[in-house]
Amino acid sequence: MSKPLVLVVGASGRTGQRVVRALRRHGFPVRALVRDASKASLVAGEGVEVLIGDVTDEADIRRALTGVTYLVSALGSKGPTDAAHIELIEFTTIAELAQLAKEMGVQHFVLCSSMGVEIPEMIPPLAEILRQKRRGELALEHSGVPFTIVRPGGLTDEPGGGGVAIARTLPGFGMIARDDVAEVMVQALLQPEAKNKIAEIINAPDAGPADRPGLFAEVASG
């Protein structure tokens, strides 16, 4: 039985590319929304439909969501930038995605957010990004779309496959490979227990792998 179509926004980014690959490994057909046509080759491949469009444009998003069952967002501001751009990407766009996803019958929205969004003052250089990410999370939570919010620690480009600690709130900060973040986001679509949960994740040698059964059963609700 074929799996349902997944739209990935932020697909050409370093995390987004890994999300596309992880979805394909698990047999999902993917529609990858890419703004810059020159980056289409980063995600193109068998089972991947590359759609050129702007995630901030409602018409492009409606086109991208047509026929989609699941939505995965790997969007994010590219480091410190002006406040208006941060708000546009981290809050406004996520809120509009959630609203349109609800309207168009999306069954699950998986959002990559960040650890620290509830304590942005603890990380001053990223405080504004974290505040806007939290606003985006809340917009998704209140949209009525079934959701999973994944909050990774600091992102690395190291190979994945290591242990992944997961909880609603982890006791401290840490780092995590983008490969493992991508796998956790795909597991959110595969594991029913993931719906309507928020999960912090970091690499931890003594934890099981990102694709372990019951991963999201370990995460408390609320």
What residues act catalytically?
A: 114
The residue behind tokens 């690959």 is 21
H-type alpha helices, the chain: 14-25, 58-65, 83-87, 93-103, 127-141, 178-190
CA dist 174 to 19, 27, 164, 166, Å? 21, 30, 11, 11
CA angle 152–203–30, rounded 5-degree value: 55
**Rounded to an integer, what is the distance from CA 144 to the centroid of its chain?**
17
